Chains A and B, each alone.
Chain A
């Protein structure tokens, strides 16, 4: 099983400040087709999870461009350029080869 490790697990951020979440996998997520099979999801309070980023860097429809995914192989990062109050929630990375999720990172407003 591919193990996904996120850090930090808790991330207090002031509005307008940037935030960054790291995700590491125990095996490379780079497929022979050139894509990294790493997605990012957010679960806002009381809601179902929702897709933010797929294939490491492709924003889902309707996701603001302040969200950016990067990385390759085993190291990935989700960056929020300027955190807004609506961004509060738990962020999960997920490897999509034989899916497993990271532990989740709780983003809260200071």
Chain B
């Protein structure tokens, strides 16, 4: 049974960048795709983008194009999400999740989330 362990909380200043990691254990990392979903305080869910580690292919939500980078290290089974030019409204819980390879359907394993706070 795969588990996803995310890195710890981050406090960042506006204009800086944050990189969140998501380490998979207990399964075949390259058999799946991985998405990043965020949730601002009291708000709904927002898909940011995803990666298929087997091929290294990525897809990003239009809203985040140019500001988000998702990559993966297949040797350690870890996915990463880096968000740049942080603004106050990027304050959110960032989740990684596993999905069926080559589609974004069925996000069936989720990490516990990483809280990113952006404050001056």
Contact = CB atoms under 8 A, between A and B. Distances in A.
Q: Number of contact residues on B: which range applies?
A: 20 to 34
Given A41-B45, A48-B95, A48-B112, A99 B61 contact: yes
Given A99-B61, A101-B44, A101-B47, A51 B103 contact: no
B77 interface: no
Contacts of A50: 110
Contacts of A98: 59, 61
B35 interface: yes
Given A101-B45, A101-B47, A48 B108 contact: no
B83 interface: no
Interface string B85-104: 00000000001010000011
Q: Tell which of A51, A101, A103 has the most Cβ of chain B within 10 Å.
A: A51
Contacts, number: 58
Chain B contact residues, majority secondary structure: loop
Chain A contact residues, majority secondary structure: loop
B70 to A, nearest CB: 13
Interface in A1-38: 1, 37
Interface residues of A, number: 25
A104 B44 contact: yes
A48 B97 CA distance: 10
B7 to A, nearest CB: 15
